[in-house]
C-alpha cells in the first residue's frame, strides 16, 4: 500500500514539475511569437498599401453570426472577437490613400489570414497571405502571386471564384481554400464600408 502511495506521489510531483516547465516556456515564447506576428503584419501592411506613410488603427463592433455545425469538419473556425479592426492609410499630407485589414476564414485545413490593401474607392489594391497551413502543392499555393494578383482592383461585387460564377480563378484542387480567401476579403470590404457609412452618419448628425 505504501509503495502505491509513494508511486502516486512521485507521479504527481513529476506532473507538477512538467506543468511548471511548460508554463515557464510558454511565458517566454508567447511574447516573442506575438512580436513576430505584429512585425509580419506591419511589413505586409506597407506592402499592400505602399502609398501610405502613416497607418491609423480603427475598430468597429460587429454582430457575430452563429455558424451551423458542420459534421464533416472536426476543426472549427475560432470564434475570435466581435470587433473588426482595420487601418486608415494616410500620406504625409494626412490625406487618406486607402485602408488595410486582415481577412480571416477557415479554408480546407487551416484558418487563412490575408492582409488586404484597399483603395479609397473600396476596391482591392493588393493582397498578401500572411498565415496559412493548407495542403502543400494545392491550397498552400494561395501565396503565389499568380493567384493573389487576381484580386487587384476588384470591387466587393466582383469578388467571387470561377466555380461560383466569378472571375477569380480557383487554385487547382483547392476550391475551398480559394473560396475562403475570396469570401473573407469580401466580408472585410463590407465591414469597412459599414464603418465608413456609420462615420459619415455620425458627422452629419453632429
Residue 7: is its pLDDT beyond 50?
Answer: yes
Say if 71 falls within a structural domain. yes
Least confident interval from 7-16, 116-125, 157-166, 192-201: 7-16
Write down the pLDDT at residue 81: 52
Lookup: cell for 142? 494561395
Taking residue 149's Cβ as centre, other Cβ atoms within 10 Å add up to 10
Lowest mean pLDDT among 61-70, 83-92, 103-112, 196-205: 61-70
pLDDT tens figures, 139-162: 999 999 999 999 999 999 999 999
CA distances from 184 to 107, 113, 178, 205 (A): 10, 9, 10, 32
Number of domains observed in the structure of the chain: 1
Higher-pLDDT residue of 178 and 1 is: 178
CA pair distance 115, 28, nearest whole angstrom: 27
Alpha-carbon distance values, 172 to 74, 141, 202 (Å): 24, 9, 46
Q: Is residue 77 part of a domain?
A: yes
- Checking if the pLDDT of 77 tops 90, the result is no
Instruction: Report DSSP state, residue 172.
Output: T
Instruction: Please give the Cα distance from 64 to 107 (Å, whole number).
Output: 19
Q: What is the pLDDT of residues 10-53, one digit of tens each?
A: 777 787 787 877 777 777 677 777 788 889 999 999 999 999 99
Question: Is 162 within the bounds of a domain?
Answer: yes
76 within some domain = yes
User: What length is written for the chain?
Assistant: 206
Higher pLDDT, 79 or 116: 116
Q: Which domain holds residue 156?
A: 49-205
> Residue 18: inside a domain, yes or no?
no
Q: Can you give the pTM of this predicted structure?
A: 0.78
Q: Which of 45-49, 64-68, 129-133, 161-165 has the lowest mean pLDDT?
A: 64-68
Is the pLDDT at 75 greater than 60? The verdict is no
Asked whether residue 137 is domain-assigned, the answer is: yes
Average pLDDT, the chain: 86
144 domain residue, yes or no: yes
**167 within domain boundaries:** yes
Amino acid at each position: 500500500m505504501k509503495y502505491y502511495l509513494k508511486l502516486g506521489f512521485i507521479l504527481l510531483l513529476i506532473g507538477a514539475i512538467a506543468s511548471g516547465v511548460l508554463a515557464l516556456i510558454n511565458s517566454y515564447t508567447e511574447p516573442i511569437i506575438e512580436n513576430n506576428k505584429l512585425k509580419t503584419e506591419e511589413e505586409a501592411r506597407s506592402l499592400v498599401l505602399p502609398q501610405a506613410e502613416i497607418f491609423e488603427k480603427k475598430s468597429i463592433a460587429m454582430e457575430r453570426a452563429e455558424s451551423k455545425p458542420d459534421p464533416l469538419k472536426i476543426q472549427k473556425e475560432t470564434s475570435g472577437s466581435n470587433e473588426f479592426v482595420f487601418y486608415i492609410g494616410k500620406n504625409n499630407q494626412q490625406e487618406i490613400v486607402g485602408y488595410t485589414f486582415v481577412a480571416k476564414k477557415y479554408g480546407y485545413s487551416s484558418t487563412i489570414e490575408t492582409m488586404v490593401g484597399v483603395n479609397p474607392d473600396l476596391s482591392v489594391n493588393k493582397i498578401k497571405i500572411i498565415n496559412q497551413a493548407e495542403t502543400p502543392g494545392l491550397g498552400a499555393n494561395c501565396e503565389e502571386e499568380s493567384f493573389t494578383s487576381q484580386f487587384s482592383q476588384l470591387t466587393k461585387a466582383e469578388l467571387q471564384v470561377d466555380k461560383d460564377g466569378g472571375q477569380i480563378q480557383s487554385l487547382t484542387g483547392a476550391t475551398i481554400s480559394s473560396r475562403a480567401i475570396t469570401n473573407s476579403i469580401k466580408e472585410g470590404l463590407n465591414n469597412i464600408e459599414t464603418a465608413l457609412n456609420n462615420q459619415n452618419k455620425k458627422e452629419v448628425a453632429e
